[in-house]
Chain A
Amino acid sequence: MYGIVNQGIQGLIIENYGVAIWEKIKAKAGYGDETFLASQLYDDSVTFSLATTAAEVLDISLEHVLKAFGKYWVLNIGKEKYGTLMKSGGDNIIQFLKNLPNFHSRVMLIYPNAQPPEFKVDVINENTIHLHYYSSRIGLTDFMFGLIDGLSEFFDAPCGVNHLNHSETEITYDLFEIVVH
């Protein structure tokens, strides 16, 4: 994945635990001398080992790390680096989510080596949508939960999330039902 993802983990850790802990995690994961660049492609294993090492060092579950990371991603990286998307996607979470597939398709247009996830949004009624998530990677479902949580906070829209479907074959597929209260 692109280094912006690793920078996200870096930001999350530094903001919550400080630079020293981050340096420790980075070194323990084997990237002590690395300076992560946003627009450089890194192997997925870098991201995964950063996340698992963080869980180990902080003595929390990987699930916890991924969820926190998802939330941080929307509320910090998204807001800072992709303000337009966050602010112009729509003034509510449903409008925003409808844009998500196109947004990730454009990521791929600009960075042909990226493998961003695919989404499909079905509007069930004015308060309910079904968000289909397809990814070539496995293990990021908890990240999705964190992301949705972050969006809910960003749009000040408390919502309920039902995990309707989950499968991991060659690709990961998840179906989330998001109900805005």
Chain B
Amino acid sequence: MEQMIFNAQLLEELFPFFIIIEQDLSITFAGKSLRKIIHEAISFEDTFAFIRPKLGIEYKFDSILKFKDQVFILQIRNLSYPINLKGQFVFDSPNNRLLFCGSPWITSDDDFIKTNLYISDFALHDSVLDLLQVTSSLRMEYDDKVTLNSEIEKQKKFYENLFDNIPVDIGVFDNELRYKFLNKNSVKDEKTRKWLINKTLKDYYEFRNLDLQLADERQALLQKAITEKNTVRYQDVYNEFNDNEKVILRELFPYEDYEGRNYLMAYGVDITELKKGRDELIIKNKELEKLNGELDSLAYSITHDLRSPVLALMGLLDIIYESGEFGSENKEYLTLMRKSILRLDDTIREILNYYRNARTEIDYTEINLLHFVNQSFESVQYYVNYKIKLETSIQADCPFYSDENRIITLINNLIANAVKYSRENDGNAFIKFSAIIDHENCLITIQDNGEGIPYDHQKNVFKIFHRASSTTSGSGLGLFICSEIINKLNGKILLESIPLQGTKFTITIPNGTKTIEIS
């Protein structure tokens, strides 16, 4: 090996900045790229300065030899722009000289330009060039980061702006119940808002001199929401009992972000006005209810009390009638009086029925429809002096449960109407009553071939004080009460009528069986 003489030209191909130094530190060879920078390289000390190592080393051959297992940084002296060479010394023992193999250490594009070197001055393997390209890439990546940051900033601004302009308090707590975000509406002052980040609700209460016991209570609510993962709602009242009273409805929503961290989103809406309005409404409503109740009972008792004198009047009239002590012309008056009193009594009874329907709870019992229909028909058929045929059909899968009193009133009214507004029809007048009962409903139809209802009246017949025909007697309350009763029973009533042919009511009433079975 030793006899192998190395070829300096080959070496400078690999290390274009290399030098050979003799014992007296004279430079006997410099690589081709180095020669471009230093034209006269005679003495090492005049050409190079130690940068590293520097303090312990001397410009002596032996001294350099002692440091030869270290990386050296040498600065080329007397250049308009200093160039540092990074490299190592190797000892060429057969020739008793030192070789320095290194190349310019450059870390930025700008430095490179200043050296006046070209890429072709470097060996292909030299990693300084790679380093330079890495630096460029890092700068590019840094630019990317700047772009991304400004993009993120833009988005953040957008959402913050959004949150700040919602007229709702928004706050976000982390799972340790420290503020992570507050919008402008929740805390107007920016400094306080910034200060509050990472502080707790209690810190805020302290800061604002608010009731600390209340702070503890609120804190407990926050804790509850986040541990139980449940929405919690409460009201905060500020300046209670004075003109500036403010009521905030707060809602706490626990949520987990995409990385599994738990947060609590709190929002508060100012409901002061709403609440004021609602409170006033509640008070007014109560007053109204009371008033209504009073009126109802007044009306009820008046009507109720009216019946006795009317019945007494009727009785007295009957006594006169039976005594026969009146002139023939008075007889007619008496008959008219009797009719009037009957009508008055009818009206009073209907009004009482109305109030009864409005005031009493539904009382479910088994209903014997047929019985009530017959009873009702019997009591009213004498209204006319011709024969009306009552046909009934009941088809029942099960018993029908409903409110007896209401059903009686309903049937009475409808049958009475059918009779009142019947036509003789050459002795063929009829009323057909049918009922189909199943577990769900009772479907009733009542059909007659009477006068029928004029078309333009049909849509009004269920309204209060509306009379189907102006010629006949009646209070005008009958059908109104029917529809009130059916409403109360959650049913439906349908009217079909053709003038001078007849009328048909179709009624559906839910069968109360179910209610009974359940209760």
- Chain A residues within 8 Å of B, Cβ to Cβ: 3-4, 35, 37-40, 81-85, 87-91, 95, 98-99, 102-103, 106-107, 109-111
Known: A83-B109, A84-B132. A95 touches B118 (CB 8 A): yes
Residues of A within 8 A of B112 (CB): 84, 88
Known: A35-B147, A35-B151, A40-B144. A89 touches B136 (CB 8 A): no
Q: Is the CB of B119 within 8 A of A89?
A: yes
B237 within 8 A of A: no
* In the bound complex, CA of A103 to CA of B137 (Å): 13
Known A3-B144, A37-B148, A109-B130; 10 more pairs at CB < 8 Å: A39-B144, A84-B136, A88-B117, A90-B119, A90-B120, A91-B118, A102-B119, A102-B124, A107-B133, A110-B134
CB < 8 Å: which of B113, B140, B148 contacts A4?
A: B140
Shortest B146–chain A CB gap in Å is 11
CB < 8 Å: which of B118, B134, B141 contacts A90?
A: B118
Q: Is the CB of A110 within 8 A of B137?
A: yes
CB < 8 Å: which of A37, A82, A102 contacts B147?
A: A37
Q: Is the CB of B144 within 8 A of A38?
A: yes
Residue of B nearest to A2 (CB): B140
Q: Is the CB of B136 within 8 A of A81?
A: yes
Residues of B within 8 A of A39 (CB): 137, 140-141, 144
Q: Is the CB of A87 within 8 A of B113?
A: yes
Residues of B within 8 A of A84 (CB): 109, 112-113, 132, 136
Residues of A within 8 A of B140 (CB): 4, 38-39, 81
Residue of B nearest to A109 (CB): B130
* In the bound complex, CA of A111 to CA of B235 (Å): 58
Residue of A nearest to B148 (CB): A37
Shortest A28–chain B CB gap in Å is 22
* In the bound complex, CA of A38 to CA of B142 (Å): 10
Residues of B within 8 A of A109 (CB): 130, 133
* In the bound complex, CA of A98 to CA of B122 (Å): 13
Residues of B within 8 A of A4 (CB): 140
Shortest A30–chain B CB gap in Å is 19
Q: List 24 A-B contacts (CB under 8 A).
A: A3-B144, A35-B151, A37-B147, A81-B136, A81-B140, A84-B112, A84-B113, A87-B113, A88-B117, A89-B118, A89-B119, A90-B119, A90-B120, A95-B118, A95-B120, A102-B119, A102-B129, A106-B129, A106-B130, A107-B133, A109-B133, A110-B130, A110-B137, A111-B137
B143 within 8 A of A: yes
Residues of B within 8 A of A90 (CB): 118-120
| 10 A-B pairs with the lowest CB-CB distances in the bound complex, closest first | A84-B109, A37-B144, A38-B140, A39-B141, A106-B133, A110-B137, A83-B109, A84-B112, A88-B119, A39-B144
Shortest B136–chain A CB gap in Å is 6
* In the bound complex, CA of A139 to CA of B137 (Å): 27
Residues of A within 8 A of B134 (CB): 110
Shortest A4–chain B CB gap in Å is 7
Shortest A179–chain B CB gap in Å is 21
* In the bound complex, CA of A85 to CA of B129 (Å): 10
Q: Which of B99-156 contact A (CB under 8 A)?
A: 109, 112-113, 117-120, 124, 129-130, 132-134, 136-137, 139-141, 143-144, 147-148, 151
* In the bound complex, CA of A35 to CA of B146 (Å): 12
Residues of B within 8 A of A85 (CB): 119, 133
Residues of A within 8 A of B119 (CB): 85, 88-90, 99, 102
Shortest A29–chain B CB gap in Å is 20
* In the bound complex, CA of A3 to CA of B144 (Å): 10
Known: A88-B113, A106-B129. A99 touches B120 (CB 8 A): yes
Residue of B nearest to A82 (CB): B136
Shortest B446–chain A CB gap in Å is 70
* In the bound complex, CA of A98 to CA of B141 (Å): 27
Shortest B127–chain A CB gap in Å is 10
Shortest A161–chain B CB gap in Å is 23
Residues of A within 8 A of B137 (CB): 39, 110-111
